[in-house]
Amino acid sequence: MVCTAPTRLSSSSIVARYRLQQRAESRFFAQHRNLARKYAHQYSHQCLEPYEDLEQIASLGLLKAIRKFDPQRGTAFSSFAVPYITGEIGHHLRDRWDAIKTPRRLIEFYQRVERDQKRLAALGVERSLAEIAAILKSAPGAPKDDWEFIVLAVKKRVVSLTELAESGREP
C-alpha cells in the first residue's frame, strides 16, 4: 500500500478558488433573486415589516441555500431554497415579535386605511389617514376603537395608563 502525502495548495491557488466560488455564487444569486423577492412580497402583506427589509432577509436565506445546495442530490434548487428563504423570514419576524400582541383586526383595518389613502392619492384626492379611518368606521366589521389607539397599537407604541388618564381617554 502506497501512502501519498496530501498536496499543499499555494496561497495564490486558494485565493483563485475562493474568487471563482464567489463569482459562481453571485451569478447563481442573480439568477434566483426573484424567488427571494416573491416570498418577501408574500410576507409583506402579512405583517407590518417593510418590504425592503423582508427582501434583504429573504436574500440571506437564498445565500444560505446557495452555499448548502448539492446538485448531486437531484433536487430542484427552487424546492431546496424555499424552506431556507421562508425560514429566514420566519426567524426574523419571530425574533422581532413583541410580547404585546396587536389584534389582527386592528392591523388589517390600519392596512386598509393606508391602502385606501394610496388609491385616493392616485386619483388626485388628498385625505389624511384619520379622515379615511373616520369614513371607514361606519363600514360593517370595522373596529370601534379610537383611531389614535389603533395607530398606537399597530406601531407598537406602549402608552402608560397614567398618560391615558391625563389625556381623558379610556384604556
Q: How far is CA 103 from CA 25, 50, 108, 138, 156, in A?
A: 42, 19, 9, 19, 11
pLDDT digits (tens, 9 = 90+) for 11-65: 777 777 778 888 888 888 899 999 999 999 998 888 878 899 999 999 999 999 9
User: Sign of the C-alpha dihedral, residues 46, 101, 144, 129?
Assistant: negative
Distance of CA 108 to the CA centre of its chain: 17
Instruction: Give the pLDDT score at 85.
Output: 95
Task: Assess contact for 154 and 48: CB atoms under 8 A.
Answer: yes
Instruction: Give the pLDDT score at 3.
Output: 59
Going by the DSSP 8-state scheme, the letter that residue 73 receives in this structure is G
Does the model's pTM come out above 0.75?
no
The average confidence (pLDDT) of the chain is 80
Q: What percent of the chain has pLDDT over 90?
A: 22
